[in-house]
Structure formats: C-alpha cells, structure tokens
Chain A
Amino acid sequence: VATTEGTGGNAPESAGPAVGRAARARYEEVAGRIESLSTRSARLEATLDTLTSEVRSPLAAAQGLLRLAVRRAARGVEATDERTVADLDDADAAVSEAVDLVGRQLDAVRVEARALVGEAREVERLVEALGAAIPQQNEPGSGSTDSTSPPSGP
C-alpha cells in the first residue's frame, strides 16, 4: 500500500485539510443546488398537474355546449334560435377561457423550465469542479494514500 511518506514532503499533510474543506464546501453547494432543483421540479410538475386538471372544465363545457347546439340543429332548430345562439356564445367563452388558461400557464412553465435547465447546467459545472478538487487517489504513480488504508505510523 502506498503512503504519503517520502512522496511529496509536507505538502500532502498541509494541503490535505484545505483540500478537504474546499471539497466539502463544493459538495455542500452542489447538494444545496440539487435540493433546490428537486423542489423546483416538483413545483413545476404540480403546476402542470393543476393546468391539465383546470383546463378540462372549460374544455368539457365547450364540448358539451357545442354538442347541444349540434343536437338542436339536427332536430331542425334554426341556427338563429335564441337557445342555440346562447349555447354557441357560451361554448365560445369556454374555449376562450381554456385558451387563455393554457397560454398563461404555458408561459409561466416555459420560463421556469428554462431556469431549471440553466440551474442544471450550473450544477454540472459544480460537479466538475468538485471532481477536480478531490485529490486523485489510487492512480498509478500518484503516490496518494488509499482512503481506506490506515494512516501510516511515525
């Protein structure tokens, strides 16, 4: 088992704790960012759930009212019939509500999704930095101590 003895003077002993603290700080930053990403992703999913649920009411109303108008037309009722006009007006209002709801929510979702992608890229960069901050161990010729090895005695 390789040890630090005779491979780099005092450098490993003096740099080790500092490197460890830096790596730890990086690790905590990455963990915090990942937790934040997870929370925001869950919130985005909940927003989409709500949207898909909410938009179904005006869609159901529009579909139903149009069906009523079609049914009345099939019975020979004039398209200018007051009730048919009311059905069509209300169907139009329901479609407008659905379109407005989908438009507003999709805008919000798009903004949040874009922010999440940016955040994920930032986390990737942090992970790379974290990897670079960790001393390369067990590499042939690195001379580093295996972390599972007991410290060498005096």
Chain B
Amino acid sequence: VTAAGPCVLVADDHDLLTIFLERLFADEGYRVVVEPDAERVAVAVARERPALAIVDADMPPQPLFHALETIAALDDATRPAVIVLSGRDEAAVRARGFELGAAAVLRKPCDPDDLLALAVRLVDADRAPAAG
C-alpha cells in the first residue's frame, strides 16, 4: 500500500461509505482524499488534482448534482474523470450525470470489484491516453 499512487477524490457525505471507499482504493495503492461537503468539492479538486473523482449525486443540503456541477465548471486540465454514485435510479438522474461529464453513473450499492475495475480503467486511460 502506498500513498504515492494516483489520487482519488471521494466526494460523499456518508461517513461509513467514505471509509469503505477510502480503504478500497488505499488498499490498491491510491492516494485517497475525502470531501463530504458538496460546496467544497471543486476546491478539493483544484487543490488535490485527482485523476479520478467518485462523486455522490445527492449531498444535502445542496441540491442534487451540485458537486458534479461544480466539477463540470472547471477547466479541462483540472477536471478529473468522474464516476457518479447515486441512490437514485431514475433515467433522468443518469442522463443528468452523463450530461455533466460523468464517465459512469452507478447506483448504490454497486459491486466493489466492478467499481475498482472501472476506476483503474479510467485512471489508466487518463494517465496514458495514447496507449490505446
């Protein structure tokens, strides 16, 4: 386990879920940063420059997708690949997630192995875009 790997930002207001995600990615050598406040997610992205952000769609008291909207407003160089986690399954929620630039919109609870595999693929693609 190393803290020197690519950075993953976990933006979720549920403490036990962030504990799980932190351990899941830390076990695989990622540096994990947790931000439970939707209002501060964009600041965390600009500061930490994560390769991947795992973002909860619903982080009260902010409206649905607030955190993702603030990431979407960042410039291309700063904006990480994003996986949205949501407790909701409406087509409109998924569509909005993709509209805001998410690479994937997953419904909680999602399979940890699938999440990890997807994350690795996105981070690798981000690190070596020419590798094909």
Contacts and interface: CB of A to CB of B under 8 A. Distances in A.
Contact of B112 (A57, A58, A68): A68
Interface residues of B, number: 22
A57 B17 CA distance: 6
Interface in B93-128: 107-110, 112-113
Contacts, number: 66
Interface string A29-69: 00000000000000000000100111111111111110110
B30 to A, nearest CB: 14
Contacts of A25: none
B87 A56 contact: yes
B16 A93 contact: yes
B21 interface: yes
B27 A59 contact: no
A63 B109 contact: yes
A94 interface: yes
Given A53-B58, A68-B24, A60 B19 contact: no
Interface of B: 12, 14, 16-17, 19-21, 23-24, 27, 56, 58, 85-88, 107-110, 112-113
